[in-house]
Amino acid sequence: MADIADSPLANQANKSLEHENVETGEPKMRARDVDVYYGQKKAIDSVDIDVYTEFVTAFIGPSGCGKSTFLRALNRMNDTIPSARVTGKIELDGEDIYASGMDVVQLRARVGMVFQKPNPFPKSIYDNIAYGPKIHGLADAKPDLDNIVEKSLRRAGLWDEVKDRLSDSGTALSGGQQQRLCIARAIAVDPEVILMDEPCSALDPIATAKIEELIDELRGRYGIVIVTHSMQQAARVSQRTAFFHLGNLVEYGHTSDIFTNPAEQRTQDYITGRYG
């Protein structure tokens, strides 16, 4: 596999080796034997995966392989699809997120989500961020909310660009700014994990680079999972990669291994562009 090991993709992925020696605690999220069905059709088959706060985890694989389906299982967004059914076990800090006592609204604040198409609320930039903390009772008083708004926008790398126009509509921002606004909105409710489903696919290369930088800055503070069709992006931003194919998790491991020395032929075929 020398041809793969010397590729630009592999060189990129090898950079993630710098992070390999980071000590990890318990996984933030742990999925075991997870199946997801749409009616009779099984879209995800017996997936085991751990998500760590210390690492960014990338989900890759050809269209229709189940990346979004599995991602949505991690914060029970599949509950909103009537035909969807999830079996197996998914834990957040050891707690079963599908247990009957689980507060799903609270869960989705703890495990936030950012979508492919930026979807700011048709409200001011300020209110886009303040809305979640208000409904979750994190802050009521104006100075506290101001504080959360500024902190979240700073953390999402957007503060300097919007601090003088907080009352403008969120929808008036550029696509890249809107996506950072959505990340700030997820951050505002103090999440533990942020799930991103192809967050850059609607963005130009400059806006994409900004989001990738941001993801790197957020690593370690939040568990981050990113679905991407760009293998270059997976190699740049992640330290763990999961390769899905036809509803199966074919291979999960260090990003550097997946891109230089994959254990499975199907992984090698995908990363060398033989299909997908």
Ligand X SMILES: Nc1ncnc2c1ncn2[C@@H]1O[C@H](COP(=O)(O)OP(=O)(O)OP(=O)(O)O)[C@@H](O)[C@H]1O
What residues line the site for ligand X (CB under 6 A)?
Answer: 38, 43, 61, 63-69, 81, 83
Residue nearest to Mg ion (CB): 68
In the list ligand X, Mg ion, none, the entry touching 69 (Cβ below 5 to 8 angstroms by class) is ligand X
Gap between the Cα atoms of 203 and 206, Å rounded: 8
Q: With respect to ligand X, which residue has the nearer C-beta, 77 or 237?
A: 77
> Residue 24's closest CA among 236, 192, 220, 195?
220
> Residue 191's closest CA among 135, 107, 134?
107
In the list ligand X, Mg ion, none, the entry touching 81 (Cβ below 5 to 8 angstroms by class) is ligand X
In the list Mg ion, ligand X, none, the entry touching 66 (Cβ below 5 to 8 angstroms by class) is ligand X
Q: Residue 237 to residues 8, 98, 184, 208, 233: CA-CA distances in angstroms? A: 15, 30, 19, 11, 6
> Residue 184's closest CA among 226, 152, 217, 220?
152
Output the smallest distance, CB 114 to ligand X, in A: 14
In the list ligand X, Mg ion, none, the entry touching 191 (Cβ below 5 to 8 angstroms by class) is none
Q: With respect to ligand X, which residue has the nearer C-beta, 70 or 126?
A: 70
Q: With respect to ligand X, which residue has the nearer C-beta, 64 or 94?
A: 64
Q: Residue 235 to residues 7, 10, 202: CA-CA distances in angstroms? A: 12, 8, 19
Output the smallest distance, CB 67 to ligand X, in A: 4
Output the smallest distance, CB 238 to ligand X, in A: 16
Phi–psi pair at 18, nearest 5 degrees? -55, -25
Q: With respect to ligand X, which residue has the nearer C-beta, 81 or 135?
A: 81
Q: With respect to Mg ion, which residue has the nearer C-beta, 12 or 68?
A: 68
Gap between the Cα atoms of 274 and 257, Å rounded: 19
Q: With respect to ligand X, which residue has the nearer C-beta, 114 or 156?
A: 114
Gap between the Cα atoms of 18 and 64, Å rounded: 32
> Residue numbers of the site for Mg ion (CB under 5 A)?
68
In the list Mg ion, ligand X, none, the entry touching 263 (Cβ below 5 to 8 angstroms by class) is none
In the list ligand X, Mg ion, none, the entry touching 114 (Cβ below 5 to 8 angstroms by class) is none
Q: What sign for the dihedral angle of Cα 170, 175, 177, 182?
A: positive
